[in-house]
A and B are shown apart, each in its own frame.
Chain A
Amino acid sequence: MTKSNKKRDTFIELLIPHKNTLYKVCKNLIWNSNDIEDALQTTVLSAYKSFDKFEEGSNFKAWMIKILINTVFNFNKKYTRQSMFEMFHEGVLDTGKAYYNEHDNSDMFEILERENVYHEILKDPLKLMERLDKNIKDSLLRLNTAERTVFLLKAITDHSYKEIANILEIPVGTVMSHLYRARAKLRESLCDYAREAGLFRNKEV
Chain B
Amino acid sequence: MNCREARQYINLFLDSELDSKTNLEISEHLSSCEECNTRFAQEERLEKSLVSVLKEDKVPKAEVTWEGVISRFSHQVEWEEEKHLSFRPFLWRYLVPATATVIGLVIMLIMYSRQDTNALAAAAQKCHIEYMTDKIAPSLESMFPDEVSGYLSDKFTFPVTVSEISDIKFHHIKLFGGKVCHLNGVSVAYVMYHCCNAPVSVFILNAKDVENFSDMKRYIAGDRILFKNQNGITFVAVPTKQNTFVCVVADHDVELLRWVADNFAKI
Contact = CB atoms under 8 A, between A and B. Distances in A.
A28 B54 contact: yes
Interface in A9-65: 12, 15, 19-20, 23-24, 27-28, 36-37, 40-41, 44-45, 48
Interface stretch (B61-69, B133-141, B143-151, B165-173): B61-69
B70 A183 contact: no
A15 B73 CA distance: 12
Contact of A19 (B15, B42, B50, B66): B66
A15 to B, nearest CB: 8
A165 B190 CA distance: 96
B46 interface: yes
A37 B9 contact: no
A154 B50 CA distance: 12
A155 B15 CA distance: 10
Nearest to B7: A109
Contacts of B45: 122, 125
B66 A23 contact: yes
A28 B65 CA distance: 15
Nearest to B58: A133
B73 A106 contact: no
B51 to A, nearest CB: 4
Contacts of A23: 59, 62, 65-66
A122 B8 contact: no
Interface size class on chain B is: 35 or more
Contacts of B47: 183
B81 interface: yes
A24 B59 contact: yes
Interface in B65-118: 65-66, 68-70, 72-74, 76-77, 81, 85
Nearest to A12: B70
Given A122-B43, A152-B54, A156-B54, A48 B69 contact: no
B217 interface: no
Contacts of B65: 23, 36-37, 40
B154 interface: no
- For the complex, would chain A's binding face be called helix, strand, loop or mixed by DSSP majority? helix
B69 A24 contact: no
A133 to B, nearest CB: 6
B184 interface: no
Interface string B1-12: 000000011011
Contact of B42 (A27, A123, A154, A176): A123
B17 A132 contact: no
B267 interface: no
A4 B57 CA distance: 36
A168 interface: no
B49 interface: yes
A1 B81 contact: yes
Contact of B53 (A41, A122, A129, A187): A129
A28 B77 CA distance: 28
Contacts of A102: 8-9
A125 B86 CA distance: 62
A104 to B, nearest CB: 11
A37 B68 contact: yes
B55 interface: yes
A132 B51 CA distance: 12
A48 B69 CA distance: 13
B8 A106 contact: yes
A41 B46 contact: no
Contact of B49 (A15, A123, A129, A161): A129
Contact of B69 (A8, A41, A156, A190): A41
A126 to B, nearest CB: 7
Contacts of A190: 50
A136 interface: yes
Contacts of B155: none
A131 to B, nearest CB: 11
Contacts of A103: 8
A72 interface: no
B54 A48 contact: no
A19 B232 CA distance: 81
Contacts of B16: 160
8 contacts: A19-B66, A27-B59, A28-B54, A41-B69, A45-B76, A122-B39, A122-B46, A132-B53
